[in-house]
Amino acid sequence: MSNNRDSLDRTTDGVRRTTVSRRSLLRSAGLLGTVGISTAASAVGSAIGRRRTGGESLPTSAPRVLHREPATAPQFENEPPWRAEPLRVAGTDAYVDGEYLYQDYVYDDYGANTTDAPGPPQPAPNDETAYGENGTMTGDLVYPTDAETFRHNAADLLEFRAKPAPEGIRYRITLNTMVEPDVAGVAIGIDVDRDPSAGADEWGYGIGSLGPLGLDHVLVTWGTGAELDGAPVESSIDLDRNQIEVAVPLDPEEETWRHYVAVGLFDADAKRFRDVRDSPDERRPGGAHGRNPPPIFNVGFRFDEPVGAPNVNREAGESELEDATETGARGVGYGHWRDHAQAEALAARDVSAFHADVDFGKLRARTTERHVPRTGFLTRLYASHYDLGAGVDADRDVLRGRIQPYGLYVPHAHDPSEPTPLHLQLHSLGSTYNEYAVLSPNLIREFGERRGAIVLTPEARGPAGWYTGEAELDVFEAWGDVAARYDLDFDRTTIGGFSMGAFGTFRLGSLYPDLFARAFAINGGASATDADPYRGTSLEMLDGLRNVPVLMWNGSNDQLVPAPVYLATEERLRELDYRHELDAFLGYDHFTFAFRDRWGPAREFLGDATVERSPRRVRYRRLPAFDGERFGLIHDGAHWVSEIETVAGAEDGLVDARSLVFGEAPPRPAHYEGEGTEPDPHAKRGTVWKPPLVGEPARNALVISLERTAAATIDVEGANIDPSAPVELRVESTHPALIALSSRRGRTTVEVPAGETARTVRL
């Protein structure tokens, strides 16, 4: 290989409520009122089931996809003679028992940079309706307007494989999206002597030259056919697996041959790649901007593809932040889709740096040698349990495919034999799973390396999902994939995010408070106003954060998340007497935190905090409109309260339950205001809890307040109640309700009327 991978393991396996398009060239682109008790005939067990992967374990209040084993997907499946498991780490390769395989990135198919400066696609001349404003890619190519055929992703390489065969060499190409067999073309260039001066530079088939490559053979396949050096060769296609297989009569014996691979859109009738126009039509791609880019969307063997780069100079960035804010909908930075080096190389028509030197001696010896990093920043791929369709939904900014990416930072001192904390860091609007590696690399080091934590940034199925629906699903599917591959300590999970990711931090932290020890929100809040909430957020949901301390960092000059937004959030937390702190940084704009990249106090706040599994008091607001029933995302309780049902016609229901078995009076909230200097001057205000002045006798009792709630379940052991002794139950409810007391002994249901009720219950 051309890259230096000495450190690799070779022996082991901005906020706006507008749509941010991925491609964006296409802008179109009543209960009983009596008091009674009934006992279930059979035991149902505790409401808190566990999936143990390290440290403590995971409550069943987490979405079911977090409890399930990883899914597979057709693109990751094999059929003889192919047997090696996919690598699932993008930009890596391996030799596995007679097979060579390379794993590419997904949704990185943007082709050449055709604008004067690296950045997102820009309007074509005299075409005001073709392009949108947004994007964080460097390449500018866009797909034809026939979305049903091309799916805005038809030329996206997922995997390349090669192995010796009786007929010579057998190749297998897997694409991320394939709805028709001959839409994409794959060109494989072969240099048998690895001498760029000996051989051709011209690929043919409308590609032209891609640099001094010294090609001795060119193999092109379009699914329904294939040619080696212009002569037909055997090929086959599997539309279920998105795989094309080609056999060629070449014998490398035990030599090392250099390979290049490029993917574009193919015209099978003309046997040539479709050239790029300024504006697309139904069959031809666009984005040329008056230039003549190669008709290639994706290039393989990019082992050193950078995570991207800011579009503001980090040293002089302060003076440019205002301009960045004004164009914030376009995203800050480019190459976030791991396409920067590819885009620049295609613009220069020189992809010579992107190659794989395939050693057929190793293949014939059936050597196993994986070039997959153990630590550092990884682009991992997982298979979703849900099939949402193929390619990209450009209208909704949703990545629909079964294969989804996420960013994962594994600290260099990571010990696979020890349970490791996880920090979930959510990306901002218009950005990707690479956001922090691009813009704030020190954040990853502070929250990961210095805390010994694995840092996960899910893609959330696109740049603008607001962590609802499929975007929320992606968070937990990615988290589940990490849990299947690393020994996670679920007792030490923290959450954070920037901008849209901060809103997501409040949302997920409030809806799943028993999953997180602490929350850190940067430039966000829980809602804009009560009348105009951000998607999937509301100030009311903050009730769930009673047992999750929150740190908020906001900029005083932030135009995208202004003071009324974050002050309303802080005021609601203060009104609830919850532990929190708001630090308002003087003179900070929306992107200042990212570019200054200093996080010491936030790192100390996250620290080594642990999740509070069985708190003395649980307060949780049921918001049915926030559910994603299609994906099993039902937010109906946390800790030892579950199965909350609202009364008919109510938009929400509140359960506030306290266990008296702990023998302590409630903590005393203390509000404060002050100033801070680290990492820069800021005004602060917040709430802490102080110990109670007097004690309280321990009692096997529950005190519950219900608002607009028809039913709820209490996990008795989770509340530390002794199920073998009588349970004192005091309830105040706005409506008649059913309260189920669930324990290992069984399930007892208590009917309570509106008003106050006091009962002694034997389970």
Q: Which amino acid is at 416?
A: P
Which carries the bigger pLDDT value, residue 446 or residue 316? Answer: 446
Per the domain annotation, does 182 fall within a domain? yes
**Distance from C-alpha of 570 to C-alpha of 575, rounded to nearest angstrom:** 9
pLDDT at 16: 29
DSSP states of 300-318: ---TT----B-SS-TTTGG
Q: Which of 525-529, 677-681, 711-715, 722-726 has the lowest average pLDDT?
A: 525-529
Residue 418 in contact with residue 372, Cβ under 8 Å? no
User: What is the number of other CB atoms lying within 10 angstroms of the CB of residue 43?
Assistant: 12
Residue with tokens 């190749």: 171
Are 369 and 363 in contact, with CB atoms under 8 Å apart?
A: no
Q: What is the largest CA-CA distance in the chain?
A: 92
Question: Could you tell me if residue 40 is inside a domain?
Answer: no
One domain, residues 301 and 432: no
Q: What is the pLDDT of residue 674?
A: 97
Examine the pLDDT at 324 and tell me if it is beyond 60. Answer: no
Q: Are 49 and 360 in contact (CB under 8 A)?
A: no
Q: Provide, rounded to the nearest whole percent, the portion of the chain with pLDDT above 70.
A: 86
One-letter identity of residue 366: R
Residue 243 has pLDDT above 80, yes or no: yes
Q: How far is CA 438 from CA 260, 310, 332, 442, 521, in A?
A: 27, 7, 10, 10, 19
Q: 479 and 359: one domain? A: no
3-state secondary structure of 521: strand
Amino acid at 398: V
Which pLDDT does position 329 carry in this prediction?
41
Q: What is the pLDDT of residue 60?
A: 65
3-state secondary structure of 507: helix
Strand-strand pairing, 519-522 and 550-555: parallel
For the ranges 416-425, 530-539, 701-710, which has the lowest average pLDDT? 530-539
pLDDT at 696: 81
| Average pLDDT estimate for 368-373 | 97
Classify the C-alpha dihedral 425-429-434-437 as positive or negative: negative
Q: Does residue 535 sit within a domain?
A: yes
313 or 700, which is more confident: 700
Q: Name the more confident of 55 and 630.
A: 630
Q: Is 447's pLDDT higher than 90?
A: yes
Give the contacts of 625 (CB within 8 A, at least 6 positions apart): 651
Note whether 115 and 255 are within 8 A (CB).
Answer: no
- The span from the CA of 396 to the CA of 753, in Å, is 45
Query: Taking 80 as the threshold, does the pLDDT of residue 421 lie above it?
Result: yes
Average pLDDT over residues 115-123: 55
Q: Is-contact 749 37, C-beta < 8 A?
A: yes
Return the half-sphere exposure (C-beta side, CA atoms, 13 A cut-off) of residue 639. 28
Structural domain count, the chain = 2
Residue in this structure with the two tokens 């990571």, named with its chain if needed: 414
pLDDT tens digits, one per residue of 6-21: 333 323 333 323 333 3
Structure tokens at 709: 């709630």
Residue 43 has pLDDT above 70, yes or no: no
Q: HSE of 525 in the Cβ direction (CA atoms, 13 Å)?
A: 31
3-state helix/strand/coil string of 22-88: CCCCCCCCCCCCCCEEEECCCCCCCCCCEECCCCCCEECCCCHHHHCCCCCCHHHCCCCCCCCCCCC
For residue 646 the two structure tokens come to 């609202």
**Quick one: pLDDT at residue 665?**
85
**Pair (532, 487) in one structural domain:** yes
Residues 484 and 453 in one domain: yes
Residue 8 domain-assigned? no
| 104 contacts: CB under 8 Å, gap ≥ 6 | 90, 91, 157, 158, 159, 160, 298, 300, 302
d(CA 418, CA 517): 19
> How far is the C-alpha of 11 from the C-alpha of 283, rounded, in Å?
46
Q: 538 and 633: one domain? A: yes
pLDDT band of 308, cuts 50, 70, 90: confident
Looking up residue 663, the CATH number of its domain turns out to be 3.40.50.1820
Q: List the one residue out of 244, 179, 246 whose CA is nearest residue 218.
A: 246
Q: Which pLDDT score is estimated for 663? A: 84
**Does 654 share its domain with 559?**
yes
Closest by Cα among 85, 53, 84, 88 to 68:
53
What's the pTM? 0.90
The verdict on residue 584 lying in a domain is yes
What Cα–Cα distance (Å) separates residue 198 from each residue in 1, 209, 285, 708?
A: 19, 15, 33, 79
Q: Count of CB atoms within 10 A of residue 550's CB?
A: 28
17 in a structural domain = no
75 falls in which pLDDT band (50, 70, 90)? very high
What is the rounded CA–CA span in Å between residue 193 and residue 187? Answer: 19
Q: Which helix (H) or strand (E) holds 503?
A: helix 500-511
Give whole-number Cα distances, 666 to 148, 543, 581, in Å: 59, 17, 20
Confidence band (pLDDT; 50, 70, 90) for 119?
very low
Identify the CA nearest to 740 among candidates 39, 126, 233, 216.
39
613 CB neighbour count, 10 Å cutoff: 16
Whether 313 and 440 map to the same domain: the answer is: no
Q: How far is CA 507 from CA 314, 497, 613, 724, in A?
A: 31, 11, 19, 38
Closest CA to 544 of 504, 520, 513: 513
442 pLDDT higher than 50: yes
Is 228 buried (19+), middle (13-18) or exposed (0-12) by CB count in 10 A?
Answer: buried
> Does residue 116 share a domain with residue 60?
no
Has residue 83 got a pLDDT over 60? Answer: yes
* Angle ∠(352,353,357) on CA atoms, nearest 5: 90
Indicate the pLDDT class of residue 57, thresholds 50, 70 and 90. Answer: low
| Lowest mean pLDDT across 56-60, 192-196, 575-579 | 56-60
CATH of the domain at 291: 2.60.40
> Of 371, 402, 424, which residue sits at a domain end?
371
Containing structural domain, residue 705:
50-71+382-391+411-761
**Local confidence band at 52 (pLDDT 50, 70, 90 cut-offs):** very low
Give phi and psi for 482, each to the nearest 5: -60, -45
List residues bridging with 168 in a β-sheet: 165
Mean predicted confidence (pLDDT) in 493-509: 97
What is the model's pLDDT at position 380? Answer: 98
Both ends of the chain: CA-CA distance in Å? 68
Phi first, then psi: give them for residue 260, nearest 5 degrees.
-125, 150
State residue 561's pLDDT score: 94
Give me the residues paired with residue 39 across strands: 748
Q: What is the pLDDT of residues 630-656, one digit of tens each?
A: 999 999 999 999 999 999 999 999 999
Mean pLDDT of 596-624: 96
Percentages helix, strand, coil for the chain (3-state, rounded to 5) are 15, 30, 55
Q: Is the peptide bond before 81 cis (omega within 30 degrees of 0)?
A: yes
Q: What is the pLDDT of residues 258-282, one digit of tens each?
A: 999 999 999 999 999 999 999 999 9
Predicted confidence band of residue 533 (pLDDT cuts 50, 70, 90): low
In this structure, the answer to whether residues 238 and 172 fall within a common structural domain is: yes
**DSSP string of 144-160, one letter each residue:** -S-HHHHTTTTT-EEEE
Quote the pLDDT of residue 130. Answer: 32
Overall average pLDDT of the 434-439 stretch: 93
pLDDT in tens, 169-224: 999 999 999 999 999 999 999 999 999 989 899 999 999 999 999 999 999 999 99
Q: Which of 339, 371, 403 is the last residue of a domain?
A: 371
151 shares its domain with 66: no
Looking at per-residue pLDDT, the higher value among 293 and 527 belongs to 293
As a whole number of angstroms, the distance between CA 548 and CA 262 comes to 49
Instruction: State the average pLDDT for the chain.
Output: 88
Per-residue pLDDT tens over the stretch 730-762: 999 999 999 999 999 899 999 999 999 999 999
Q: Which pLDDT tens digit goes with each residue over 144-155?
A: 999 999 999 999
Residue 532: the pLDDT is: 61
> CA 167 to CA 170: how far, in whole Å?
8
Question: Which residues neighbour 605 within 8 Å (Cβ) at sequence distance 6 or greater?
Answer: 518, 520, 549, 551
| H or E segment to which residue 756 belongs | strand 755-761
Both tokens of residue 559? 């135009």
Domain membership flag for residue 485: yes
- Judged against a pLDDT cut of 90, whether residue 26 lies above it is answered with no
Contact 177, 158 (CB under 8 A): no
- Residue 416 corresponds to which tokens in the numbers above? 């696979």
* CA atoms in the 13 A half-sphere facing the CB of 657: 31
- Please say if the pLDDT value at position 612 is more than 90: yes
445: helix, coil or strand?
Answer: helix
Beta strand ranges found along 454-515 (DSSP E): 454-458, 488-498
Q: Has residue 402 been placed in a domain?
A: no
Q: Say yes or no: 632 and 488 in one domain.
A: yes
- pLDDT, position 530: 61
**Same domain for 131 and 54:** no
Which string of b and e fits 481-510 if b means at least 16 CB within 10 Å? bbbebbbbbbbbbbbbbbbbbbbbbbbbbb
pLDDT (tens digit, 9 = 90+) per residue, 339-353? 999 999 999 999 999
Whether omega before 196 lies within 30 degrees of 0, making that bond cis, reads no
Phi and psi at residue 4, in whole multiples of 5°?
-95, 110
